[in-house]
Every structure is written in C-alpha cells, then in structure tokens.
C-alpha cells in the first residue's frame, strides 16, 4: 500500500511516521518547513516566549519574596534562544523522516485526481491521499490592514524590541497569549475583541475570571469592539478605530497585532476540479476524516474544525486506521485546549452553556487555587477550577446522561495546561464524580484543586 500526505505539520509528519511503522510506503509533500505552522511560527516559538515572560514575572516578585534581584532581559537574545529551540526540534523531525519507507518531497502540491498529486512537473501516485496543508493567518478586510507596523502572529514572533504600545485585534487564544507575553516584556497592551467575551469558545466563567486577571496585570481589554480601520500618523504611530456600544472610539499604538483567527490553506490544491466538497471554512469530511471523494482524506486545520496540533495528529491516526481497516477508540469530540497566558487556562469537554443547549441538567463544582497549599507556597494563587457533572433529573424523565458522570472541566491557574489531562482521561472513560473522589492525590500538589472541586 502507498499513501501520499500533503503537508508536513504535526498531522502530516506524525501520520507519515505511523504509516511507515506499519509497513506502508509514504510520500510526504512539504510545501514549507518541516513541522508546519506549529513548530515554525506557532505553538513552539510562542511557548518559548511564554516561558521567558513567565520568568520575568517571577523575577518581578523576587524582592517581595526575599530575593533581591531586579528583572532585566534582552529580547534579541530571547529570540536567539527561540530560534535554537525551533531548529533543534526541526532537526529531530528531519531525522524521523529519514525512515526507509518515507520519501520527502519539497514543493507546492496540487491534486490531479483521487490517486495522483503533482509537484511542479513531477507526478506521484498512491492508493490513498491525506491532505494536511493546515491554515494561514486571517486578517480583517479593513482600511489600513496592510500598513507598516500591522503584523500577524508570524511577524510578531520576530520582533527584537518590545513595542511601547501594542494593540491586539482579537481576544482569542493567539491574541491573548501575545498580549500576556508582551505585557511581561514591558509593552502597554490593549486588546479589542468583537465578541461579548474573550475566548468565545471557552466557559463563560473562565473567560470572565481570566479577563479580570489579565486586567489586573495592566492589559486593557475591550469586548464588543468592532474594529473599523487603522490609520498611520506622520510620526509612525497607528490609530485603531472601533465601534463600542454605538460609540466611535480609538486607541493609539506603535504596533498592531492582527489576531482574528486562521483560515484553511485551500489555495492551489485544485479541489473543485476533482469533485472534493469544501467551503471557505475547509474541506468537508466524515467521521473517518474521509472527503467526498473516496480514498481522499483531510486532517487538521484544513478541515476548519478545532485548529490544534494535537487534534490534527489524532485525526491523522483516525484516517490511517480507516485506511488500514482498523477500528479505534479515539473520541475526536474530546479534545483538551489550553491558553498559555499568565495564569494559564485550559478546558476539556462540555461548558455549562453547552450543556444547556443540549438539554443536559448539570451541577458545577468549583474550587479556588488560593486554597491550594502548593499554589500558596509558589505565591501563584490566582485561578479557579470548575468541573461540570451531570445532575439528577426529575423522576420519570428520560436522562440523556447518567447522573454523576463527569462532562467537562475548566481551569485557569498555574500549570492548568498540564492538570487538565487528568479530567480528560476520566471523561474518556465515562467516570463519575464519586469515582474521582476516591482517587488519592499526592500532597501538596496543584492537581489537588481538582479534588477540592470534586468534594465541593
């Protein structure tokens, strides 16, 4: 069997490696650097900057904690370290791709038919094709969006000096992470979000509390803000105009980050000519990640669903399992997500609003990090935990979910991105809150906040 995979991001290269381990010949076509957006201009470089921002925040507390050391940093040297991290990991991926059953082809691919892909003048054929071309940064179609000083998430990663004033258009994951990073780097930061809350897909309580926490750090956040244009002054300053509650408003900035999401990278694939169904939101796929043309699959951001590297990886595994005729227990609807602000935020499963829409009665169990011994010892107590549990229904009613079953968890606080996976595993196994209450946790640990909530 032979497979062609178009795209060398996490979904593409990890699927290629797994296929090769199963004895399948793979042609992996990379239209850009190995590792894709995640490794080169997304997850990894951003989290490297997050790490240094966190160090700066910790150092800023040093004197109050008895350590006399004034925080100082060199953003240019931080950028050098970030680049070294990316190169190290790219080298590791390149080494893995030297598998004898993987042929790496560099270039832009286009589909010729359901079994053939062209790269330049060369053509490659296989039994199955997996499209994993990812996504690209989106931008608002407003006046001034192309002015110097208006940058994308890729370009802001290369700054060697922190702007004095940074305006962030978009209060989603990308926008908030950069807002948090550059606030630590000393920038005056303002965030403009079109929706009524930041992090529109996250739990409402979490979003409100995180907004309050970020505001206390000095980040100005304006929600229900419709950005209408960007203008440049003679001195190079930028003015971002927006509507808020019917009033015309404006903020000044030296740099403007356009962080309004990402769009599927559909360009050049030639999808319509071979009958593959797609919309501007991405390629249409079934539960096995198969497109409308049999034998062609699509995974990751190109499908327009959860644009997360780990989602793409497991979607690739689902597609490969379907190709091989192997069933699996992967629940593609249960994908944890994290926001690497300070403090971190993370979620998995249903939100309280989701449960209401689905008609599932729930109870919400909550606990605060300020009551957690480890968090107190770390002087990092800002945060809370909220566990969503199916509630009892009136006698005689048809319960869609058994009472007591854990349905979701929403965290913000230190190391939330790591802690969330315990609840993810429990939800995947259909665990109840009573079963979770009986699990012993080490003391003192941050994960005890989950137990505190479970016993609330």
H/E stretch holding 288 reads none
**What's the DSSP call for residue 391?**
P
310 has catalytic annotation:
no
> What is the Cα 337 distance to its own chain's centre?
6
Judge contact between 206 and 199, C-beta under 8 A: yes
Q: What is the 3-state secondary structure (H, E, C) of 98-150?
A: CCCCEEEEECCEEEEECCEEEECCEEEECCEEEECCCEEECCCCCCCCCCCCE
Q: Which of 310, 415, 441, 443 is the catalytic position?
A: 443
Q: Is the dihedral of CA 301, 304, 305, 307 positive or negative?
A: positive
3-state SS assignment for residue 249: strand
Label the pairing between strands 255-258 and 165-169. parallel
Rounded to whole angstroms, how far apart are CA atoms 240 and 37?
Answer: 28
Crossing angle of the two packed helices 173-184 and 204-216, in degrees rounded to 10: 20
Residues 6+ apart with CB under 8 A from 224: 193, 194, 195, 196, 244, 245
- Catalytic residue numbers read 443
């Amino acid at each position: 069997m032979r497979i062609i995979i178009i795209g060398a991001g996490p979904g593409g290269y990890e699927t290629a490696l797994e296929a090769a381990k199963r004895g399948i010949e793979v042609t992996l076509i990379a239209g850009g650097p190995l590792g894709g957006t995640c490794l080169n201009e997304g997850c990894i470089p951003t989290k490297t900057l997050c790490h240094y921002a966190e160090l700066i925040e910790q150092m800023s507390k040093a004197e109050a904690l008895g350590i006399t050391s004034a925080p100082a940093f060199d953003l240019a040297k931080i950028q050098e370290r970030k680049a070294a991290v990316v190169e190290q990991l790219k080298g590791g991926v390149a080494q893995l791709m030297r598998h004898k059953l993987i042929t790496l082809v560099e270039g832009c691919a286009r589909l010729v038919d359901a079994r053939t892909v062209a790269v330049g003048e060369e053509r490659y054929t296989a039994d199955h094709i997996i499209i994993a071309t990812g996504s690209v940064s989106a931008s608002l179609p407003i006046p001034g969006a192309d002015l110097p000083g208006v940058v994308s998430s890729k370009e802001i990663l290369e700054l060697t000096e922190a702007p004095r004033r940074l305006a962030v258009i978009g209060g989603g994951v990308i926008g908030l992470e950069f807002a948090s990073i550059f606030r630590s780097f000393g920038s005056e930061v303002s965030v403009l979000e079109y929706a009524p809350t930041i992090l529109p897909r996250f739990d409402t309580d979490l979003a409100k509390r995180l907004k309050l926490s970020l505001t206390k750090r000095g980040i100005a956040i304006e929600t229900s803000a419709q950005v209408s244009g960007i203008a440049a002054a003679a001195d190079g300053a930028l003015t971002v105009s927006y509507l808020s509650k019917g009033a015309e408003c404006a903020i000044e900035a030296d740099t403007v980050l356009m962080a309004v999401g990402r769009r599927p990278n559909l360009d050049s694939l030639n999808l319509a000519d071979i009958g593959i169904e797609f919309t501007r939101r991405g390629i249409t796929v079934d539960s096995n990640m198969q497109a409308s043309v049999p034998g062609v699959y699509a995974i990751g951001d190109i499908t327009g669903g959860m644009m997360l590297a780990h989602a793409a990886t497991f979607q690739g595994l689902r597609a490969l399992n379907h190709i091989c005729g192997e069933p699996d227990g992967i629940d593609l609807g249960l994908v944890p997500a994290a926001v690497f602000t300070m403090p971190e935020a993370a979620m998995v499963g249903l939100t309280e609003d989701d449960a209401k829409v689905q008609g599932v009665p729930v109870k919400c169990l909550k606990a605060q990090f300020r009551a957690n011994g480890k968090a107190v010892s770390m002087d990092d107590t800002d945060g809370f935990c909220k566990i969503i549990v199916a509630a009892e229904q009136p006698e005689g009613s048809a319960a869609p979910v058994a009472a007591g079953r854990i349905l979701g968890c929403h965290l913000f606080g230190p190391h939330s991105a790591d802690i969330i996976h315990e609840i993810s595993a429990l939800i995947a196994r259909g665990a109840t809150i009573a079963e979770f209450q009986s699990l012993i946790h080490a003391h003192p640990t941050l994960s005890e906040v989950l137990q505190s909530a479970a016993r609330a």
